[in-house]
Structure 1
Amino acid sequence: MRTRTLRRAGLIAVAAGAVATLAACSSTPAASVDGGAAAATPAAAGPRIAVSYEGGILVLDAESLETVADLDSEEFTRLNAAGDGRHVLVTMSEGFQVLDTAAGSTEEPELTDLVFAADTPGHVVRHGGKTILYADGTSDTTIFDTDALLSAGDGLPATETIPGVEAHHGVSVVLEDGTFLTTVGGPDGRTGITAQDGSGALIATSNACPGIHGEGTAADEAVVFGCENGALVYRDGEILKLDAPDQPYGRMGNAYVSETSPLVVGDYKTNPDAEGYLLAAVTVIDTVAGTLDVVELPDGVEYTFRDIARGPEDLAYILSSDGAIHVFDPATTEIVDAFPVVDPWEGPVQWQDPHPAIVVADDFAYVTEPAVRAVHAVDLTSGEIVSTTTLDVTPNEIAVAGS
């Protein structure tokens, strides 16, 4: 049975010299009209884009792609939308540091001194009004109400910590009824998941998922986890193992989901020794039928884990090394459209190396092109590039706040 600890998270100062709080915009008195008018109210900002680079993070206006802030950070960081439409969680040495993009406000972006403490911060999951943080160094899971971050003021929201058992690179999910799913692993490897109800009682468990990695929650809260030989599906209190056609190694490591579709698209590789090479097939998992199919993509359509996103009409959008976004329909397993966006590119040597990435918000995709230091906004309903910006730095990871 798990032990739950409910606590109020404190402030954790990052290294000395942390970024100081930026002054909020102040309104300027309007010109006198009919004996004097009230001060003009600044317009609230729209959605924002966070882009990491070596040693810093840019915050861009999502419509114009104009840089509105350039903030110092650690040399390599990962970016995850917090889920509240304003904040981004940045993986730093102390934990998950809160980046306020100021989306939807009249304030200035700021890399705050607020940190959700974590030993080796890893996956961030957003589902059912909760944001779930996983610490690889302890296997602890930290949970908070997503929208509470907006009203927490100068502190962090109340959090719930579920202690881990053995440290490993893992992930946790909390369903709307309180069911807690978490990966199982240790020094010798990762093996599967456990599912517990809100009181901590065990519902189901599986150790049939070697190298478990990544997760995604599809329609009706069916949760998929990738394995080195297939995938696990948790649905309605039961765990189903789906075998890959390639054995003993046919790895799905990341799940790309829509919470309105029962179909999950996953990446897929068959070479355990390859680090940064491009992938040329995807998995399609039907969480209702309980099936896993591997779909070979057309010649020249190759990608990395950063290059698939779900978007309009529950389709998958694959940013390929040929420079185009290929529109993949998981229901028919066919490429149904494609539109050029960037120049052709080669796969990274290491996964951390800058290479093109795609994120989707509403009907728009935001695409990085590190080779020319560019970011593009693409209307996925038409395939048109609606704006492009050239940066002074090389973009790496990207996240969207607000939509």
Structure 2
Amino acid sequence: MKRLALGTSALALMACFSGLAMADEHVTAWRLFVSDHAEPVVHVIDAVEGETLATFDIKGPASLYRSDSGEAVYAVQGDADVVTAIKTGIAFHDHGDHADIDVEDPALTGAEIMGDYPVHFVEHDGHWATFFDKEGVARIFSERDALAGHAETREVDSGAPHHGVVVSYGNYDLVSEPHPEDPSNLPIGIKTLGRDGNQVGDLAECPDLHGEAASGNVLAFACATGLLVVTSGSGGAPSIEHLAYADTLPEGKSTTLIGGRGLQYFLGNYGADAVVLIDPSEENAFRRVELPTRRVHFAVDPVRARFAYVFTEDGRLHQLDVIGGEITKSLALTEPYSMDGHWSDPRPRIAVAGEHVVVTDPLAGKLHLVDAVTFEEDGEIDVEGTPFNIVAVGGTGTAHGHAEREEHDHGHEGDAHDHAHSHDHDDQIYQGYFEDDQVKERGLSDWAGDWQSVYPYLQDGTLDPVMAHKAEHGDKSADEYRAYYEIGYRTDAGRIAIDGDTVTFYEQGEPIEARYASDGYEILTYEKGNRGVRFIFEKTGGDEAAPRYIQFSDHKIAPEAADHYHLYWGDDRAALLEELTNWPTYYPSSLSAEEIVAEMMAH
């Protein structure tokens, strides 16, 4: 049993505390991380103000990867044989229906992962796998460790040096199989290894394997013959199916994939002057979109899930409607960047930062800001050197600013009832303001019953009125709220039944059952005032596939029957406490979809 923690970009909330009483504040914070094509530096730029916040010296020119949480950016320096972890300085703490933010200075964490020629760098469930081509070995580490300044790694040996990839998938590793005759050729498939290093099942054939991405709870690898589509099988083991290219497609293949955010699909290259939209759940899974000239780069929009963007060598940026399968807008943005020449020559790259699509212009030394709604250029930011790779982190939301709360968090004496805000006692607790002695042990009986996940209702549009209602009263659009809850609600466990000390998880209808006993609770404290309580239970017996720990959060801090809850589960107690982005949410199975919508909108 695994708990998905996926994501699209985190909708972070920026907080600025001056020590004086202040009301809640709606703010926007976005940061751009830009590497240089030739120099070993990474620039951090405030995308709102256009100011450079920091410049970090690293060991070589880097490709940049942002984590799903948005708390880390990694600089992969192939020629310097190292991956460097960077703390973005933007972190949010989620409580299900609201979130708090910490905004700090960006910083090098001190964590570095060393090896001979790192290339493919893949995140899954908060774990990163760096594949070192000249060793044929992947080193896997947790983001939590990297942010803390150290990264203890677990090694997975593929069998031979090659241009390969490894994905950490729950209790398994998906590992590329080198070409048996010439490892300098692309891999021939994916094998599944248990944590003991032994292969599970047969090799999933995938000739010329190159390109990997995740969208929702689906993982895909690109092959010469189609895609390998990976989903959770029985007991959490990966299920791998081959999806052949459609006969209607011209000869070709994808070698780069990006997973959609908010909508489940994949965007890939297909020939020099086309892209392909892939939805493995559809009978006609492949839709090829021709481009006016050769493609330079493409990216999906994590905020406006309907759109993706493609930059072509004529210097134009195109908006791609992934539902309609067509280019809807185009904008002349830079001088032409021909695709003739070396594949690694400096050419523009795309990132999305809130209301802007940002495009690097390496030869001009600048970033172009494009309004994502009007699709008109909305400014430029000058960047020293040759700005090349780019990633964005951040978002829009509410910063809580009660000085009394800040004092209380820093240890000053006072009664929680004396805080000068308008919430009553119960709402204070719900919002995360309480004293330690108010927290009491709770038994599993507080969550007894049959429960349904709300994630399917988000996927099928049932919760669209809830998202629209939030947009009317909040500071994000309905699409932004939907993308936010897409991260939070995501789970494979569509139903959970709790009877006595027995908890049964149903993944795709298959039951996994275990018995649990209380392992106490943990109070989570956030820098800006809010706190939360996780009530923890440890497995005492049952199915091996069941998680060792389950942790409940339902905004209550003492014995009381839950009306809904957020559940975290896995085998590492401490690591689960760090999980704040994915909180599968459950309501009683007796409630209809309409009743759940009504409950959420009344809340």
1:45 offset after TM fit, Å?
10
Match for 1:283: what amino acid? Answer: V
Deviates more, 1:319-328 or 1:96-105: 96-105
Larger gyration radius, structure 1 or structure 2: 2
The C-alpha deviation readout for 1:356-403, integer Å capped at 9, x for no partner, is: 110224553221012321112333233243442122311121122444
Is 1:141 aligned to residue 134 of structure 2? no
Whether the 8 Å CA contact 1:94–1:115 is kept in 2: the answer is no
1:336 offset after TM fit, Å?
2.4
1:246 offset after TM fit, Å?
9.4
Deviates more, 1:365-374 or 1:232-241: 232-241
1:78 offset after TM fit, Å?
1.6
From 150, 158, 164, the counterpart of 1:156: 150
Match of 2:56 in 1: 71
Question: 1:96–1:250: structure 2 CA closer, same or farther, 3 Å change rule?
Answer: same
Partner of 2:363, secondary structure, is helix
1:249 offset after TM fit, Å?
6.1
- Residues in 1 aligned to 2:374 and 2:171: alpha-carbon distance in whole angstroms: 40
Deviates more, 1:239-248 or 1:94-103: 239-248
Match of 1:171 in 2: 165
Query: Matched residues, percent identical?
Result: 25
TM (norm. structure 2) is 0.52
Match of 1:358 in 2: 350
Match of 2:30 in 1: 47
- State the superposition RMSD in angstroms: 3.4
1:242 offset after TM fit, Å?
1.3
1:170 offset after TM fit, Å?
1.6
Match of 1:210 in 2: 207
- Residues in 2 aligned to 1:89 and 1:298: alpha-carbon distance in whole angstroms: 31
From 59, 70, 79, the counterpart of 2:44: 59
Q: Which has the higher helix share?
A: 2
From 252, 273, 284, the counterpart of 2:277: 284
Question: 1:98–1:201: structure 2 CA closer, same or farther, 3 Å change rule?
Answer: same
Question: 1:259–1:147: structure 2 CA closer, same or farther, 3 Å change rule?
Answer: farther
Whether the 8 Å CA contact 2:226–2:242 is kept in 1: the answer is no
Match for 2:121: what amino acid? Answer: V
- In the TM superposition, what are the counterparts of 1:99-138 in structure 2 within 5 Å? 99-103=86-90, 108-111=105-108, 113-138=110-135
- Residues in 1 aligned to 2:336 and 2:281: alpha-carbon distance in whole angstroms: 37
- Residues in 1 aligned to 2:389 and 2:128: alpha-carbon distance in whole angstroms: 20
- In the TM superposition, what are the counterparts of 1:160-199 in structure 2 within 5 Å? 160-175=154-169, 177-186=170-179, 187-189=183-185, 190-196=187-193
Match of 1:274 in 2: none
Whether the 8 Å CA contact 1:263–1:284 is kept in 2: the answer is yes
Gapped runs of 5+ residues in structure 1? Answer: 1-29, 31-36, 270-278
Whether the 8 Å CA contact 2:220–2:230 is kept in 1: the answer is yes
- Residues in 2 aligned to 1:385 and 1:203: alpha-carbon distance in whole angstroms: 52
TM (norm. structure 1) is 0.75
Gapped runs of 5+ residues in structure 2? Answer: 1-17, 92-101, 234-238, 396-603
- Residues in 1 aligned to 2:202 and 2:285: alpha-carbon distance in whole angstroms: 21
1:80 offset after TM fit, Å?
1.5
- Residues in 1 aligned to 2:383 and 2:213: alpha-carbon distance in whole angstroms: 32
Match for 1:318: what amino acid? Answer: V
Match of 1:323 in 2: 315
- Residues in 2 aligned to 1:106 and 1:222: alpha-carbon distance in whole angstroms: 32
- Residues in 1 aligned to 2:345 and 2:194: alpha-carbon distance in whole angstroms: 40
From 388, 391, 409, the counterpart of 1:396: 388
Instruction: Give the paired residue count.
Output: 351
Partner of 1:346, secondary structure, is coil
- Residues in 2 aligned to 1:310 and 1:229: alpha-carbon distance in whole angstroms: 28
Match of 1:307 in 2: 298
Is 1:297 aligned to residue 299 of structure 2? no
The C-alpha deviation readout for 1:144-185, integer Å capped at 9, x for no partner, is: 3334433x1xx314443323322211222234x434322211
- Residues in 1 aligned to 2:115 and 2:315: alpha-carbon distance in whole angstroms: 37
